[in-house]
Amino acid sequence: MSLQSQLKIVFAGVVGSGKTTSIRAISDIDPFETEEFATDATRYFKEKTTVAMDYGRIDLEGDTSVHLYGAPGQERFEFMWDILAQGALGVIILVKNSSSAPLAHLDRYIKAFSPHLDKNGIVVGVTFTDVSQSTDISEYRNLLKSYNRTIPLYTLDARNPEMVRILVKTLLYRIDPMLNTTH
């Protein structure tokens, strides 16, 4: 099996940023989810939360599959980030614009995943821009410029399959422009 036949992408971000929803929106299989009832402060804004990982898969033309892993967003499950990042070609960081400190969250995730990825392996999606405009897209762009690398930035509704596919296609193209991403 060639490297291109088995690709791995991790979705990362704070609780409620849309990781599980994004994977659910684009997976060609019924996603495997480890959502449990929240027992910490998360329960005040979300009934269930991912405690280990989510898993889905999209099949591209030929024999290429993209394995999608959703990382838990709670700090107590942060140890899973390193485990899930092993062998990943890229990460899609979802930032919840309506959170109290979205720029700090983005910075934290970029710093956590950068050691595992090459310079092309990160794409950022900002969710909940329709709910909160407290942080302007230009503020995200300015933060991303400070890393001295080009990191694509999109706004999206994680429920919209086409919007999520754009993030995946962008990441795959950055990793290898020859990948067939016509899914």
140, 125 in Cβ contact below 8 A?
Answer: no
Measured N-to-C along each axis, helices 137-145 and 102-113 cross at an angle, to the nearest 10 degrees, of 30
126 domain residue, yes or no: yes
Which range among 41-45, 77-81, 148-152, 179-183 has the greatest average pLDDT?
A: 148-152
3-state secondary structure of 96: strand
106, 12 in Cβ contact below 8 A?
Answer: no
User: How many structural domains is the chain composed of?
Assistant: 1
182 domain residue, yes or no: no
161 domain residue, yes or no: yes
Candidates 180, 181, 4; CA nearest to 89 is: 4
d(CA 128, CA 148): 27
The confidence band for 176, taking pLDDT boundaries of 50, 70 and 90, is confident
pLDDT surpasses 50 at 1: no
181 domain residue, yes or no: no
Q: Where are the beta strands (DSSP E) in the chain?
A: 6-13, 32-37, 48-59, 65-70, 90-96, 122-127, 153-155
pTM for the model: 0.86
81 domain residue, yes or no: yes
- We report the CATH number of the domain holding residue 73 as 3.40.50.300
Domain span holding position 142? 3-175
183 domain residue, yes or no: no
Selected residue with higher pLDDT from 181 and 34: 34
68 domain residue, yes or no: yes
The confidence band for 102, taking pLDDT boundaries of 50, 70 and 90, is very high
Q: What number is the average pLDDT over the span 63-87?
A: 85
180 domain residue, yes or no: no
pLDDT, averaged across the chain: 84
